[in-house]
Amino acid sequence: EAGVAQSPRYKIIEKRQSVAFWCNPISGHATLYWYQQILGQGPKLLIQFQNNGVVDDSQLPKDRFSAERLKGVDSTLKIQPAKLEDSAVYLCASSLEKGVRPVSYEQYFGPGTRLTVT
Amino acid sequence: GDSVTQMEGPVTLSEEAFLTINCTYTATGYPSLFWYVQYPGEGLQLLLKATKADDKGSNKGFEATYRKETTSFHLEKGSVQVSDSAVYFCALSGYRNWGSYIPTFGRGTSLIVHP
């Protein structure tokens, strides 16, 4: 079974530029997550999709960040314009959900995209 | 909102020592609890989980028990190995009243095991 794919793996941009990240989840996984992980901290959820609908985006800085998941499969996260404090690893994860109260919400993570804003 | 608090690291141990990494949480209702591990140069992967009170999750010699009365999910291993050196993240999946579960992660605890 193929894992969660992300690209690019590394990106260096100047502040005020824009950048986009791509994620392809595990086949059949309904839920997709985007996280921001700043060095030395835990992953912070930015947005959670179930199929192509948004479940939670309460921590997404909507003035500069946007995300979409067309057709309920792969997803893109965009930052425009970037700030220095956006330097972080952006993680994508997916999970398989079943039933009213799923047995578990085990997430499968991609390798991440390391963004450096100069 | 939900939160997860982990002990600060790094935790430095000698091989075969006993390991405890403390994790406490704040959440409404009955969240599921998880430990994820990130080995050097790799992505996060699930280590173990527990979905209800008093459940014990276990994997690769690691264990953690879901303690609702103390809102804790401490990670333990009886005898650590050099290969256990990694960053360990405690996480929960908390229920929201619109019927979804939202994950929250702790900041991670680095474990360094010396031969």
CA distance B81 to chain A (A): 23
Query: Taking CB atoms and an 8 Å limit, are A111 and B43 in contact across chains?
Result: yes
On the 0-12 / 13-18 / 19+ scale of CB atoms within 10 A, A22 is middle
One digit per residue, the tens of pLDDT, for chain B of length 115 reads 899 999 988 999 999 999 999 999 999 878 999 999 999 888 899 999 998 899 999 999 999 999 999 999 999 999 999 999 999 999 998 877 667 778 899 999 999 999 9
Residue written as tokens 């995209």? A113
What is the DSSP annotation of chain B?
--EEEE--S-EEEETT--EEE-EEEE-SS--EEEEEEE-TTS--EEEEEE-STT-EEEETTEEEE-BTTTTB--EEESS--GGG-EEEEEEEEEE-TTS-EEEEE---EEEEEE-
Would you call A8 an interface residue with chain B, using a CB distance cutoff of 8 Å?
no
CB B73, CB B20: distance < 8 Å? no
CB B46, CB A107: distance < 8 Å? yes
